[in-house]
C-alpha cells in the first residue's frame, strides 16, 4: 500500500469522522466519537446514585471497548480487508442512527457511533506516516501547531510535512462536520442517512487501486 493511498484513505475517513461527530452533538447532545465524556457521565451518575443511568454509560464503554478489541484483532490478523469492513460498519451504523428515535436516552443513541468510530480510529488512525485520529480534533490541532513551532525552531522541512498532514486532517474532519451540520439542519434525525455519502467516498478511496487496475485492464490492448 503506497503512502499516497494511505493518506487518501485517512483523509476520506476524516470526512466520516467529522460527519458522525457533529451528528451526535446536534442530535444526541453529546460527542459519540470518544469515551471521555461518556466515562465522566458514568462516574457522575454513579456518585449521584443514579445507577440505572450509570449502567447505560458503562454499557456504552463496554461496547466501545469490545469494538476496539475487534478492530485491533482483525487488523492484526491481516487476513481480511479490515478497511472495507470498517467502512461497511460505518454505513450500517448511519442507517441505524437514522431510525433510532430521538426520545431514547441520549447515550443509547450513541451506541452505534461507539462501534463506528472505534473501528474508524483503529483502522485508519495510523496511516500515511503518522498516527492521527480521524474522529476528533484535539491531538491533530496540537500536532499541527507543534510541528509549525518545530519548523520555526530548527528549519527542518520534515516538520512542514507533518504540519501539512495534521492540518489536512483537521480540514477534512471539519468539512465533514460542516456537511453534517447542514444535513442536520435540513433533515434532523434523518441526516444520518446522508452520512452514507462520505462513507461512499471512503469506500472509493479504499478500493481505488483495485478500481484503477480494473480500468487499466479493460483499456489494455489484447495481446496476439
Residue 216 confidence class, pLDDT cut points 50, 70, 90: low
* Residue 224: pLDDT over 80: no
pLDDT of residue 219: 60
Question: Which helix (H) or strand (E) segment is 32 a member of?
Answer: none
Question: Cβ atoms within 10 A of the Cβ of 119, count?
Answer: 28
Identify which has the larger pLDDT, 57 or 215.
57
Question: Which helix (H) or strand (E) segment is 210 a member of?
Answer: helix 208-219
Predicted TM-score (pTM) above 0.75: yes
Q: 46 Cβ partners below 8 Å, 6+ apart? A: 54
Question: For 92-128, how does the pLDDT look when each residue is reduced to its tens digit (9 = 90+)?
Answer: 999 999 999 999 999 999 999 999 999 999 999 999 9
Query: What domains, with CATH codes, occur in the chain?
Result: 3-132+175-219 (1.20.1250)
Name the average pLDDT for the chain: 93
Q: What is the rounded CA–CA span in Å between residue 55 and residue 197?
A: 34
Q: 188 Cβ partners below 8 Å, 6+ apart? A: 27
Amino acid at each position: 500500500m503506497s503512502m499516497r493511498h494511505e493518506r487518501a484513505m485517512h483523509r476520506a475517513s476524516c470526512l466520516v469522522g467529522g460527519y458522525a461527530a457533529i451528528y451526535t452533538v446536534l442530535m444526541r447532545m453529546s460527542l459519540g466519537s470518544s469515551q471521555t465524556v461518556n466515562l465522566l457521565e458514568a462516574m457522575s451518575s454513579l456518585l449521584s446514585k443514579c445507577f440505572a443511568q450509570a449502567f447505560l454509560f458503562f454499557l456504552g464503554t463496554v461496547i466501545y471497548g469490545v469494538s476496539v478489541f475487534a478492530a485491533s484483532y482483525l487488523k492484526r490478523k491481516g487476513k481480511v480487508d479490515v478497511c472495507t469492513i470498517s467502512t461497511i460498519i460505518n454505513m450500517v451504523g448511519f442507517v441505524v442512527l437514522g431510525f433510532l428515535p430521538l426520545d431514547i436516552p441520549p447515550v443509547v443513541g450513541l451506541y452505534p457511533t461507539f462501534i463506528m468510530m472505534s473501528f474508524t480510529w483503529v483502522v485508519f488512525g495510523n496511516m500515511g506516516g503518522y498516527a492521527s485520529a480521524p474522529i476528533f480534533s484535539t491531538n491533530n490541532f496540537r500536532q499541527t501547531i507543534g510541528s509549525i513551532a518545530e519548523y520555526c525552531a530548527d528549519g527542518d522541512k520534515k516538520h512542514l510535512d507533518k504540519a501539512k498532514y495534521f492540518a489536512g486532517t483537521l480540514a477534512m474532519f471539519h468539512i465533514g462536520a460542516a456537511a453534517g451540520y447542514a444535513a442536520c439542519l435540513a433533515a434532523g434525525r434523518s441526516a444520518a442517512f446522508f452520512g452514507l455519502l462520505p462513507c461512499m467516498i471512503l469506500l472509493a478511496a479504499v478500493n481505488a487501486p483495485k478500481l484503477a487496475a480494473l480500468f487499466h485492464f479493460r483499456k489494455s490492448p489484447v495481446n496476439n
